[in-house]
Structure 1
Amino acid sequence: MRPADQSKPQYVSRIERIEADARGGNVKVHVRWYYRPEESIGGRRQFHGSKELFLSDHYDVQSADTIEGKCTVHSFKSYTKLDAVGNDDFFCRFEYNSSTGSFNPDRVAVYVNFLLISVNNFE
């Protein structure tokens, strides 16, 4: 979705519902926002992927005119199996509570030089 500040990257949301007035005009979309790591409390961490997003608890209603295009937000597992990652491919492994800054799950497995370690998210 188009940001008000054109110098910022486009916003990513999941469309939950589309509605229009009786004549089919004034189309509104009900969305659930994805956050980039740098937009979250605690910011981007070393283990976040460059195409990582967090599905938030932030819902909103926007004009359909703000829609710039379509992208795909994959699970982490399906993202790692892509043959080629396009500009419009992202992945999500966390749900983010925008008011408290908490995550679900609160830890993930991270692979570093073939070692498996568990990382607490944002501690």
Structure 2
Amino acid sequence: MAKGKAPRRTLDSYTLRNINKTIKAGDCVLMRPAERSKPQYVARIERIEADARGGNVKVHVRWYYRPEESIGGRRQFHGSKEVFLSDHYDVQSADTIEAKCTVHSFKSYTKLDAVGNDDFFCRFEYNSATGAFNPDRVAVYCKCEMPYNPDDLMVQCEGCSDCMWECTFDSGFTLLV
């Protein structure tokens, strides 16, 4: 008679001994990449499961993609800490979690007094099969009609209240504000 899979139970939380942090569903984490030269992967924990003895803990995650990992790649308006919530789900060993992190909404990220190494922001959901984004448009804030990149300093004109940053128009000249 063949052995069946060991029953698994869902955990409300789990303490990671290697970083002395407790994780639960809904938390965002940084996960070890297969290649050490690559940046850590960002994921949101959907569920935590353990085998009957509790020694083999798995996390069901929903991956965030960095702009360079998406179809179309990184664009000028993508911030250095920008990630996209994808439709890509996976199961990983809890041992691959290296840290907890925070993925803020775009609005709350732009209001942070200081951005830490574990702070990211998300303003798009990403379909990994088609490369489609939701929403497929975002508000623009500059005369160049590019979406706001929070890494770039924006300056508000006192006369018209338009916001601008250093940008190059199609005409080839650079506007310095």
Q: Tell me the residue number matched to 1:25.
A: 55
Residues 22 and 42 of structure 1: CA distance in aligned 2, closer, same or farther (over 3 Å): same
Higher relative contact order (CA 8 A, sep 6+): 1
Name structure 1 gaps, 5 residues minimum: 118-123
Q: Tell me the residue number matched to 1:3.
A: 33
If the length of structure 2 is used for normalisation, what is the TM-score?
0.62
- Deviation of 1:110 after TM superposition, in Å, equals 2.8
Cα deviation digits, residues 39-82 of structure 1 (max 9, x gap): 00000000111110000000000000100010000000000111
Name structure 2 gaps, 5 residues minimum: 1-30, 142-171
SS at match of 2:138: strand
- Deviation of 1:115 after TM superposition, in Å, equals 15
SS at match of 1:48: coil
* Superposition CA RMSD, Å: 3.2
Q: Check whether the contact 1:109–1:116 (CA below 8 A) recurs between aligned residues.
A: no
What is the distance in 1 between the residues matched to 2:48 and 2:105? 24
Residues 105 and 115 of structure 1: CA distance in aligned 2, closer, same or farther (over 3 Å): farther
What is the distance in 2 between the residues matched to 1:81 and 1:102? 28
Residues 26 and 68 of structure 1: CA distance in aligned 2, closer, same or farther (over 3 Å): same
- Deviation of 1:116 after TM superposition, in Å, equals 15
Residues 46 and 28 of structure 1: CA distance in aligned 2, closer, same or farther (over 3 Å): same
Runs of 4 or more consecutive aligned structure 1 residues displaced over 4 Å after TM superposition = 113-117
If the length of structure 1 is used for normalisation, what is the TM-score?
0.89
What is the distance in 1 between the residues matched to 2:84 and 2:56? 29
**Equivalences, count:** 116
What is the distance in 2 between the residues matched to 1:101 and 1:60? 18
What is the distance in 1 between the residues matched to 2:173 and 2:49? 49
Higher-Rg structure is: 2
- Deviation of 1:11 after TM superposition, in Å, equals 0.2
Cα deviation digits, residues 6-42 of structure 1 (max 9, x gap): 0000000000000000111110000000000000000
Residues 114 and 73 of structure 1: CA distance in aligned 2, closer, same or farther (over 3 Å): farther
Cα deviation digits, residues 84-119 of structure 1 (max 9, x gap): 1101100000000000000000011132x99999xx
